[in-house]
Amino acid sequence: MMDARAHGESGGTTATYGWKERYDTKAIAMALYSSETVRLLGALGVSMGGAIALQSAAVEPRIEGVVAEDPFANLREVSYDYVGLGLSPLLGRTLFRPATMLAMHEMAKAGGFRPDDVSPEKAVTARSFPTLLICGTCDRRIPCRHAIIYQGLN
C-alpha cells in the first residue's frame, strides 16, 4: 500500500495527480521485488488513486493489471467537473473557465509538471494490461463519462 504524495502519511506538499506518483509506484515495485517473492503484481486505486494506478502501469511493466474505481480520464477534463461545482462540467469550460485556467497554471507552477500531460486515458494506450474500471453513477465529482472514455482504448 502506498500513500500518494502530499496524502496520508507521505511527505510532500504538492500532489501531481499521477505525473510524479507513477515513478513512486515504480520505486515501490522495485523495493518489493528486491525483498519478496512476487508471483503477480497488480494495482488497485480509487479516484485519484485509480488514476495513479493506471498511469503507474504504463511505466511499470511488472504491474500486470489494474482495478480502478472512479479514475479521471485526464486532469483538464476532471478540473472542469470540479470547477463546475458538481453541477456541470460545462460551467468549468465556460463561465468558470478563468478559474479552471488559473488552477491549471497554479498546479503546473507548484508541482513542476504540465497538467495536460496528466492523462490516465493516454497511459492505458502506452502499454497493454488488463483493466477493470468501476464507476459510481451517483459520483458527482468524477462522473462515469470519465470511465466510458477508456472503452476501446486498450
**Model pTM?**
0.89
Domain membership of residue 47 (yes or no) is yes
Side by side, the strands of the sheet bearing 63-69 are 41-46, 63-69, 131-134
pLDDT, mean over the chain? 89
- H helices of 15-96, where? 21-35, 48-59, 75-83, 89-93
Domain membership of residue 71 (yes or no) is yes
CATH number at residue 59: 3.40.50.1820
Task: Quote the number of domains for the chain.
Answer: 1
For the chain, 154 residues long, give each residue's pLDDT as a single digit of tens: 777 777 777 777 788 999 999 999 999 999 999 999 999 999 999 999 999 999 999 999 999 999 999 999 999 989 988 888 777 888 888 999 998 899 899 989 999 999 999 999 999 899 999 999 999 888 777 888 888 776 655 5
Write down the pLDDT at residue 10: 77
Write down the pLDDT at residue 11: 75
Domain membership of residue 5 (yes or no) is no
Domain membership of residue 8 (yes or no) is no
Rounded Cα distance, 110 and 92, in Å? 21
Domain membership of residue 1 (yes or no) is no
Domain membership of residue 78 (yes or no) is yes
Distances in Å between the alpha carbon of 96 and those of 54, 78, 84, 125?
29, 14, 7, 31
Rounded Cα distance, 71 and 147, in Å? 7
Write down the pLDDT at residue 86: 73
Domain membership of residue 73 (yes or no) is yes
Q: Which domain holds residue 133?
A: 21-30+40-148
Write down the pLDDT at residue 27: 92
